[in-house]
Structure 1
Amino acid sequence: MRSHWANCITNFDEDVDEFVADYFVEPSRRVLLVAAAGFDPRSRRIAQMLSTALGDRLSSLFIREERPAPSAALLEQADQNEAALRAIAPNCKVLKVEIFADDGAPVGGARIIKLLGENPIADDVTDVILDLSALSTGVGFPAARMLLEDCEAATNRAFHLMIVSNPELDDRISGVPCSRPSPVKGFSPPMEADGEHDLAQIWIPQLACGRMSALTQIGIAIGRCYKICPLLPFPSRNPRRADDLLSEYRGALVDEWEVDPRDVVYASEKNPLDCYRTLSTLKVRFDRTMDGTYEPRMVLSPVGSKVLAAGALMAAIEHGMAVQYLETESYSFVDSQAPQINTPDMTVHLILSGPIYSSYDETGRI
């Protein structure tokens, strides 16, 4: 068990810049950055920050997610971002990941695991950083699990998560979901009852702007649920964001999912630990309540904010939760045709493992 996760080292916004400048100044630090090289304008932020602090002590693996028939505008943006990342971090390699197989099956998770296995972490690397800012859930979650396990096996290596988040920008990115919901690679524990007790599934869909169609398909694929507990971002930078989402999803919440208002779950839009703690608490309570009566299975569907998704990732790894997801076939991004976004990016940094936690006891205290 990773008892330190409930209070793991976390930095926000300006503190992230200060941490990077202070922590990575040591000449002994050798860092591997794993990040996206797609169209998202946030792709460059973390790489630039680390390159400034580390110079030639930074090596990088940039993941280019390839989907069928991308728009010319997004393809051009992705090419520009890739070129910029190669200039920012010259000691890099770009891994192209085909998200769909020839028959349309989503296979991005399996392919990123294969590619990371073919590019093992060098022995002299002291810190591995996964930038989740612009990675899809189907690729980012399997990569995070594999890198975390590799770092935990090497006692002298730390594993970091970094995220550049901007909910207002997320609202401008929309996608066309594929028609085949599936569990995320590495996050599909057994979903059948043990024979002695009936199965009781608890589905926790993360509500996000414009994702109703995807969540509806995921819900149908999951099947009968004992409870559905929608996850909403609150507190959030926009105080009305949760209300707006409740209004957008009203039909699904009331007519399709029949959600009891008392089952709505809230987690901070800024702090992934709040989401992790909330989901962990729910898991413990459901297990205790259903012990001896039902076989509980919690299923997560993180489709929105990467900050909330990071908390869901931690809970899924720690407690063996399933993650059901619907991959995106194509994206559209309202950028130059819309007014400029005046809201600043939010930056989050977490250290999930490493020598710094070696003195923690089972309660998570030093």
Structure 2
Amino acid sequence: MRDHWDNCVTHFDQDATRFIDEYFGDGQRRCFLMAAAGFDPRSPIIPNLLSTALRDNLHALFIREERGETTDEFLRESADQNEAELRKGIPNSRVEPITIFDPADNAPVGGNRLVALLRGMALPDGTTDIVLDMSALSMGIAFPAARILLEIAERSEGLNLHLMIASNPEMDVSIVGEPGEKVQAVRGFAGNAGRETTLPKARIWLPQLAKKRGAALERIKASLTDLYKVCPILPFPARDPRRADRLIEEFGEEIREEWEVDPRDFIYASEKNPLDSFRSIEMLKKRYDKTVKDTFDPQLILSPVGSKVMAAGAMMAAIKYDLTVQYVEVLRYEIDETAPKAPKMDIVHVWLDGPIYNGYAQQ
């Protein structure tokens, strides 16, 4: 059903903005957008592009992720300003606060609450397209949303599903999250890790290396058993040609001592194209299954904690092959003002599902 994902329609940067203008601006489209209403400066970018093209034909659901009390007034004010801009730009919209942690025991519950919200939601009449804007949504919200919206699109005749991202890797580095204590699977992405089998498990962990994400990855690694090997995912090609080298340097001790990574086991995926990470994980999955068939129970465990573009490809692979996605929810965020800044914003569009793929046959 999702065989077209290895070669699906994508647009980047100027081609992506041109696609939005021409496709959504033809007057025939009725679009439902799901995006974030948070402090991240990327929150309004995709909504503003769609609003310009669609005008009154755009309806939106904006998720405001609430992580309890924050002492950072700048982040709170930024979120309020983004929310006000989004409400003004898209009158046919509503903002839904999602409490990420249960106040009673601080357990991560954001994914469950998002799922309950979407399960009870009805699309506006005449909707032709759904857009999921992952630019400023956390993994614990974006991944469950993608799975549910994909299910809606696949069972609805004539409905298109688009994934869009306003990407800025340098901004990802500047937004620093304090990881919580509990390691868990993303809601809807437990995969086959708990299935019963008579074969011994052989797990491969694919952590996406990202600057200042070491604490989160260490907690995830400590929770995993029966690991056969660790295959870190590095951004290459990347806007900064040395980004992968710097990450290897930052995670040097873990790579050499704790994870015992063979140099041949690194996975390199484009920082710009989500299909690159999707195809890399897909290829590893197929080869590993074939290699250990009838001897081990093969399992791939993903931890995409960095670039949203690379994470989107991992999400697609996890959905298609029912893979486990392990993560640690973020307690609170802060901005690292010393991080390098890059004003250029990359725009990514992936056409996940729709009539355009009717009759697709994998070659």
TM-score tier by shorter-chain length is: over 0.9
Q: How far does residue 192 in structure 1 lie from its aligned partner after superposition?
A: 4.2
* Match of residue 148 from structure 1: 150
TM-score (norm 2): 0.97
- Measured in 2, the distance between the counterparts of 1:307 and 1:295 equals 30
Structure 1 letter corresponding to 2:7: N
SS in 2 for 1:180: strand
Q: Please say if residues 59 and 124 of structure 2, whose CA atoms lie closer than 8 Å, have aligned partners that are also in contact.
A: no
1:117 aligns with 2:119: yes
Q: How far does residue 339 in structure 1 lie from its aligned partner after superposition?
A: 8.6
* Match of residue 161 from structure 1: 163
* Match of residue 93 from structure 1: 94
Consecutive unaligned residues in structure 1, runs of 5 or more? none
Q: How far does residue 193 in structure 1 lie from its aligned partner after superposition?
A: 6.3
SS in 1 for 2:43: helix
Q: 1:104 aligns with which of 103, 106, 109?
A: 106
In the TM superposition, what are the counterparts of 1:120-135 in structure 2 within 5 Å?
120-135=122-137
Instruction: Go from structure 1 to structure 2 and tell me whether the alpha carbon gap of 1:6 and 1:195 turns closer, same or farther (over 3 Å shift).
Output: closer
* Match of residue 293 from structure 2: 291
- Measured in 2, the distance between the counterparts of 1:195 and 1:158 equals 38
**Does 239-248 or 113-122 show the bigger shift?**
113-122
Q: How far does residue 343 in structure 1 lie from its aligned partner after superposition?
A: 3.9
* Match of residue 260 from structure 1: 262
- The CA RMSD measured in Å over matched residues stands at 1.3
In the TM superposition, what are the counterparts of 1:300-311 in structure 2 within 5 Å?
300-311=302-313
**Does 174-183 or 65-74 show the bigger shift?**
65-74
Q: How far does residue 108 in structure 1 lie from its aligned partner after superposition?
A: 0.8
SS in 2 for 1:133: coil
- Measured in 2, the distance between the counterparts of 1:343 and 1:246 equals 25
- Measured in 2, the distance between the counterparts of 1:188 and 1:88 equals 37
* Match of residue 243 from structure 2: 241
Q: How far does residue 120 in structure 1 lie from its aligned partner after superposition?
A: 2.0
- Measured in 2, the distance between the counterparts of 1:334 and 1:212 equals 16
SS in 2 for 1:181: strand
Structure 2 letter corresponding to 1:28: Q
- Measured in 2, the distance between the counterparts of 1:213 and 1:256 equals 13
Structure 2 letter corresponding to 1:248: E
Structure 1 letter corresponding to 2:60: S
Q: How far does residue 25 in structure 1 lie from its aligned partner after superposition?
A: 2.1
Instruction: Go from structure 1 to structure 2 and tell me whether the alpha carbon gap of 1:248 and 1:354 turns closer, same or farther (over 3 Å shift).
Output: same
Deviations 1:7-32 (A, max 9, x none): 10000000011101111122221000
Q: Please say if residues 193 and 295 of structure 1, whose CA atoms lie closer than 8 Å, have aligned partners that are also in contact.
A: no
* Match of residue 358 from structure 2: 358
Q: Please say if residues 192 and 199 of structure 1, whose CA atoms lie closer than 8 Å, have aligned partners that are also in contact.
A: no
- Measured in 1, the distance between the counterparts of 2:6 and 2:205 equals 22
Q: How far does residue 196 in structure 1 lie from its aligned partner after superposition?
A: 2.2
Q: How far does residue 195 in structure 1 lie from its aligned partner after superposition?
A: 3.6
Q: Please say if residues 43 and 81 of structure 1, whose CA atoms lie closer than 8 Å, have aligned partners that are also in contact.
A: yes
SS in 1 for 2:305: coil
In the TM superposition, what are the counterparts of 1:305-344 in structure 2 within 5 Å?
305-335=307-337, 341-344=341-344
TM-score (norm 1): 0.96
- Measured in 1, the distance between the counterparts of 2:354 and 2:40 equals 30
Counting aligned pairs with the same residue, the percent is: 50
Instruction: Go from structure 1 to structure 2 and tell me whether the alpha carbon gap of 1:171 and 1:129 turns closer, same or farther (over 3 Å shift).
Output: same
Structure 1 letter corresponding to 2:78: Q
Q: Please say if residues 194 and 295 of structure 1, whose CA atoms lie closer than 8 Å, have aligned partners that are also in contact.
A: no
Q: How far does residue 221 in structure 1 lie from its aligned partner after superposition?
A: 1.1
* Match of residue 40 from structure 1: 40
Q: How many residues align?
A: 361
Structure 1 letter corresponding to 2:90: A
- Measured in 1, the distance between the counterparts of 2:14 and 2:35 equals 21
Consecutive unaligned residues in structure 2, runs of 5 or more? none
- Measured in 1, the distance between the counterparts of 2:339 and 2:265 equals 37
- Measured in 2, the distance between the counterparts of 1:204 and 1:341 equals 28
* Match of residue 81 from structure 1: 82
Structure 2 letter corresponding to 1:32: F
